[in-house]
């Protein structure tokens, strides 16, 4: 059975929870446990209302993706100098569900849900304990470090993700 038929069959038999229904179908079957990175909310992260300024969640997510990449054995400067590529954010779909405040201890998750030739789609969450604060779908694309044109994800990196089961083209 080819991959398209498998996906169509999985969609028909899927009984995804109501909360996940708003997310694209590829996010309903996630292959591995998400990576998690701790973040403490500092005073500088908050706005005049005393809650985390919305754009700071994007910075928290960027840090977590960088640490996830490091855990996979890849450093950003090495990707640029050895492979001639960079990863840039192409699109973000984000839901701000609850506020977080100064001194909150948060966990920022990183989960690969799909890998294409030059794109990686992540599902990221910001959690306070078991409470979901923010949910985002982030598309990151691989580009050449010289001209910022789309480039294929380095073979070594793709093989590592396939070996560890982190997003092998759902």
100-109, pLDDT tens digit by residue? 999 999 999 9
Looking at residue 163, its pLDDT comes to 76
* Whole-number Cα distances in Å, 53 to 13, 28, 148: 40, 29, 30
Alpha-carbon distance 61 to 65, whole Å?
A: 6
Which residue has tokens 């010289």?
Answer: 146
Residue 6 lies in a domain: no
Instruction: Give the model confidence (pLDDT) of 133-170 as tens digits.
Output: 999 999 999 999 999 999 999 999 988 887 776 644 43
Q: Distance between terminal CA atoms of the chain?
A: 15
- Catalytic residue status for 95: no
Q: Please tell me the distance from the alpha carbon of residue 7 to that of residue 26, in angstroms, as a whole number.
A: 9
Domain that holds residue 159: 27-164
- Dump pLDDT digits (tens) for 36-95: 999 999 999 999 999 999 999 999 999 999 999 999 999 999 999 999 999 999 999 999
pLDDT at 11: 45
Q: Is residue 13 part of a domain?
A: no
Q: pLDDT class for 16, splitting at 50, 70, 90?
A: very low
Q: Is residue 59 included in any domain, yes or no?
A: yes
pLDDT given for residue 81 in this prediction: 94
**Which residues lie across from 110 on neighbouring strands?**
35, 124
- Give the chain's domain count: 1
Tell me the two tokens of residue 122: 């992540």
* H helices, E strands: number in the chain: 4, 5
Residue 17 backbone phi and psi in degrees, to 5: -60, 155
* Catalytic residue chosen out of the listed positions 45, 47, 95, 104: 47
Which domain CATH number covers 74? 3.10.129.10
The two structure tokens encoding residue 143: 């580009």
The answer on pLDDT for 17 being more than 60 is no
Per residue in 20-46, pLDDT (tens digit) is 344 443 333 444 678 999 999 999 999
Placement of tokens 């054995």 in the chain: 73
């Amino acid at each position: 059975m080819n991959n398209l038929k498998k996906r169509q069959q999985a969609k028909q038999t899927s009984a995804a929870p109501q909360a996940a229904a708003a997310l694209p179908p590829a996010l309903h079957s996630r292959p591995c446990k998400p990576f998690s990175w701790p973040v403490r909310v500092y005073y500088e992260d908050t706005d005049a209302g005393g809650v985390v300024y919305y754009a700071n969640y994007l910075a928290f997510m960027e840090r977590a993706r960088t640490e996830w990449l490091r855990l996979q054995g890849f450093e950003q400067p090495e990707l640029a100098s050895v492979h001639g590529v960079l990863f840039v954010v192409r699109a973000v779909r984000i839901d701000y569900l609850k506020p977080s405040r100064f001194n909150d201890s948060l966990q920022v998750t990183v989960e690969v849900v799909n890998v294409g030739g030059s794109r990686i789609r992540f599902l990221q969450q910001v959690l306070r304990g078991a409470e979901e604060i923010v949910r985002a779908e982030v598309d990151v694309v691989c580009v050449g470090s010289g001209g910022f044109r789309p480039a294929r994800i380095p073979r070594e990196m793709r093989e590592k993700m396939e070996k560890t089961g982190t997003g092998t083209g759902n």
